[in-house]
Amino acid sequence: MDETMIGKAAGAWGVSLQTLRNELVPAGSPERSLGRWVVEGADSSLFLLERIDPATEPRKREMARFMGRLASAGLPVAAPCAIHDDVYFATKGGRLWQLTPFVQGLALDRPGYTQEAWRGEALAGFLVALRTACAPLEASFPGEPFDLPGYIDTLVGTIKSRRPKVADALGEATGYLAGRLYPHWQDLPTALAHGDIHGINILWKEKGIEAVIDWEFFGHKPLLYDVANMVGCCGMETPDALLHGLVPTLIRTLRQADFADANSWNLLPECVMALRYAWLSEWLRKDDTEMINLELSYIYLLMDNREKIASSWGM
């Protein structure tokens, strides 16, 4: 991308481009935009400038509004910059642009971070603060709760037609969830949630959280949705993480904070397992055979060791 055009785009927010900081790598998925650059302004402030697919503008506008409300409530969220009231995008050179403060976290030791209990306490504190900040926003951001059983059934139907061997391998696990989770899903209380919490979407600082990023999947979810996704991702890094360090500390701290009702906690192991289907879908999309096989093995590890895992969480 021509630097002059990048400068014009940044200028829509009053940022005078001094230099491109190409040595800085933005956190988060590069698939969320059509291009991204770290720009330095006249006062040495750093911003992340992104070129946006116009098809995603409505959702990204809603996300920007939501993140702005969270940032105003004091949460560690790098909310997109507004040009003026409720205007978060600029059109320059026939392209759509968005600007966000650039935030960097400390390098994450993987999988070592999963064994550090303080991260569980920090994340629990963030999730409690998020729940509190979201309570008055429920009416401003309406929407139907995510139908995970419906998603799984649709995914499995697609897999049957395209990858029948994978579908066969999933058969027992899907039947298990149909019996243990599906009948209760609609009755689980919901709240606004991040929707994609995992170690890489958290920018860590020394003994705390610098920022939480990638809010594209925010919306109404069961109370422990974010917890289930984080737990599952830690266990995917190393199964031992399900029993030690971040995960049990996160669960213990949230239970002490009365974060969810008893039924939600009782179904947490099933929710962890069910959310792995979304990750399996990602590996199938990328045709990553190694990760597909690893994910299948992990799903059955979660199912076969359900009672041991739940017991280690004090359930």
Question: pLDDT averaged over the chain?
Answer: 97
Q: pLDDT tier at 226 (50, 70, 90 boundaries)?
A: very high
Residue 12, classified by CB atoms within 10 Å of its CB into exposed (0-12), middle (13-18) or buried (19+), is middle
- Token reading at 151: 């998603």
Grade residue 221 by pLDDT with cuts at 50, 70 and 90.
Answer: very high
Alpha-carbon distance 158 to 152, whole Å?
A: 10
Which CATH code, of 3.90.1200.10, 1.10.3720.10, 3.30.470.20, 3.40.50.720, is assigned to 112-312?
A: 3.90.1200.10
Question: Among residues of the chain, what percentage have pLDDT more than 70?
Answer: 100
Strands 35-40 and 208-212: unpaired
pLDDT at 1 > cutoff 90: no
Helix axis angle for 225-237 and 117-134, nearest 10°, is 160
**In this model, does residue 315 exceed pLDDT 90?**
no
Residue 287: per-residue pLDDT = 97
Q: Please, are residues 130 and 194 in contact by the beta-carbon 8 Å criterion? A: yes
Burial 258-283 (b: 16+ CB within 10 A, else e): ebbeeebbebbbbbbbbbbbbbbbeb
Say how far apart CA 107 and CA 303 lie, in whole Å: 32
pLDDT above 90: residue 309: yes
Query: What pLDDT was estimated at residue 211?
Result: 98
Amino acid at 35: G
Phi/psi of residue 116, each to 5°? -100, 105
What 3-state DSSP class applies to 191? Answer: strand
Positive or negative, the CA dihedral 149, 139, 60, 110 is negative
Nearest to 97 by CA among 112, 85, 80, 84: 80
160-182 pLDDT, tens per residue? Answer: 999 999 999 999 999 999 999 99
CATH 3.40.50.970 fits 3-101, yes or no: no
Strand, helix or coil at 190? strand
Our CA dihedral for 271, 276, 282, 287, rounded to 10 degrees, sits at: -160
Report pLDDT digits (tens) over 106-164: 999 999 999 999 999 999 999 999 999 999 999 899 889 999 999 999 999 999 999 99
Give the pLDDT score at 150.
98
Closest C-alpha among 218, 236, 215 to residue 280: 236
**Per-residue pLDDT tens over the stretch 6-16:** 999 999 999 99
Locus of tokens 């702005």: 68
Contacts of 146 (CB under 8 A, 6+ apart): 195, 219, 220, 221, 225
Does the pLDDT at position 51 exceed 90? yes
**Helix, strand, or coil here: 50?**
strand
Amino acid at 287: D
Cα 293 to Cα 54, 131, 157, 280: the distances in Å are 36, 35, 19, 9
The domain locations on the chain are 3-101, 112-312
Q: Pick from 67, 271, 108, 258: which is nearest to 180 by CA?
A: 271
Q: Hey, what amino acid is at 306?
A: R
State the DSSP string of 82-101.
PSBTTB--EEETTEEEEEEE
Length of the chain equals 315
Average pLDDT over residues 30-53: 96
Asked whether this chain's domains 3-101 and 112-312 adopt the same fold, the reply is: no
In 3D space, the residue among 165, 181, 145, 144 whose CA is nearest the CA of residue 264 turns out to be 181
> Average pLDDT, stretch 42-47?
95
| pLDDT one-digit tens code per residue, 77-116 | 999 999 998 899 999 999 999 999 999 999 999 999 999 9
Element spanning 107, H or E: none
Q: Which contiguous run of DSSP H or E holds residue 61?
A: helix 57-72
